[in-house]
Structure 1
């Protein structure tokens, strides 16, 4: 669940309108974080200096809107967003399976319900919504 949460947080930082309202658009880029998607894009673009150059620049100054949008385009061209979403779906399925396996080992209560409602509620809250790209221009 920890891996799922962190990757989801990285994904939401760049894709969620609600996240942008709460924490700011693309705040991970401003903070110099190497998100899951950014690492994937770097691996996909090992010969390209453009992404590495932009990332070096962000350690020296705040990136402009245009520079952030360029990083996002590079990640999209590298299919990093799509890859991340697929990893999240796989992790959600893995968590669901593990939860069901765990629940099947727990003796049933008198009510006949041995489901872990707390974990189920947490995972329901964390499910990915429609991933619409946040625009920097408002």
Structure 2
């Protein structure tokens, strides 16, 4: 092919490739995402958005975009998380990469991350908007930095959790809490920070401290349920955190409570897939180190702190109902 022919070919390419991207290809590319999103979990993020909107009164069109962005980022992160953990089940069905393969799942998750940023552009106000001079805790012009900063936090937390697992290095309780505030808290903060940037009420109130406590509470509860709950077993497999070698909150306590006994560390090293070692370890945590009793006490303290902060902020019946449901389901 001559240089003139190559030049002619370049000139024939569409200036906007996206306009030439077939919808059929888009559907195929997004199929792994559609698969995981089709089986929703507890929908706690959507419920949280609805509850916080009692305080923030975000216009409905913007609220829908925020909810969509949060769900996109959350489900994309789960697809990658399941690969990193070599998980088998998510929400009671095979994890995405077991159906679609690791390469396609990674590509789709990354595609959804970038698509979420495109969706985020719908929240930007052309020319600054009519309230550009309004003072907010989170500025409406900071949306990209809000999401980018929290995605960095997510990957920092996830990275530490992976390092601890692969190095068989048990963190302290304080290190664990910090990791969770990065990993789990990031998704909740994205939702509430974007809402704060578009609120029509309570513009000067910082809701992030409440979200931080709530995020830690939700993750510790999830850790507890992973080792204790029958329903959780049906959705993710029995004591799957032990198979993944994960230093969850009860496990961190169990290791630290009796550092002369290496039962838990040895089991984590084995990454057990059959019930025998798992049942033995769960029983050890229950009877020897009393780690489940300790975890419940910590959860109770965190729940109390969340309720006190809700009251301090003026009360929120919908948010309290979320806590009531989480509390009830923990004890079932």
**What's the TM-score, normalizing by structure 1?**
0.77
Contact 1:12 1:19 in 2 (8 A): yes
Confirm whether residue 123 of structure 1 aligns to residue 316 of structure 2.
no
DSSP 3-state at the match of 1:127? helix
**2:287 matched to 1:87?**
no
- Following superposition, the deviation at residue 19 of structure 1 comes to 1.6
In 2, Cα distance between the equivalents of 1:121 and 1:131?
16
CA offsets per residue over residues 78-113 of structure 1, 9 Å max, x none? 00000001111111111111110111xxxxxxxxxx
Residues 67/50 of structure 1: CA separation in 2 closer, same or farther (3 Å cut) = same
| Structure 1 moving runs of 4+ over 3 Å | 128-132
Helix, strand or coil for the counterpart of 2:259?
coil
1:41–1:78 CA contact under 8 A, matched in 2? yes
Which aligned pairs between 1:12-27 and structure 2 lie closer than 5 A?
12-27=225-240
Cα–Cα, structure 1 residues 65 and 14, in superposed 2: closer, same or farther, change >3 Å?
same
Partner of 2:275: 65
Deviation at 1:57, TM superposition (A): 1.4
CA offset digits 1:24-56 (Å, max 9, x no partner): 211111222111000000001200122221111
In structure 2, stretches of 5+ residues that fail to align are: 1-213
Q: CA 1:8/1:128 → structure 2, altered by over 3 Å: closer, same or farther?
A: farther
Aligned pairs, number: 118
- The Cα of 1:6 is off from its aligned counterpart by 0.3
Contact 2:251 2:264 in 1 (8 A): no
For residues 263 and 245 of structure 2, the distance between their equivalents in structure 1, rounded to whole angstroms, comes to: 16
Distance in 1, matches of 2:274 and 2:233, equals 17
Query: Pick from 243, 246, 254: which aligns with 1:33?
Result: 246
How far the C-alpha of 1:116 sits from its partner, in A, is 1.9
In 1, Cα distance between equivalents of 2:289 and 2:331: 17
Q: Which has the higher helix share?
A: 2
Return 16-25 or 87-96, whichever deviates more: 16-25
Gaps of 5+ in 1: 104-114, 133-138
Aligned-residue offset at 1:130: 5.7
RMSD of aligned C-alpha atoms? 1.7
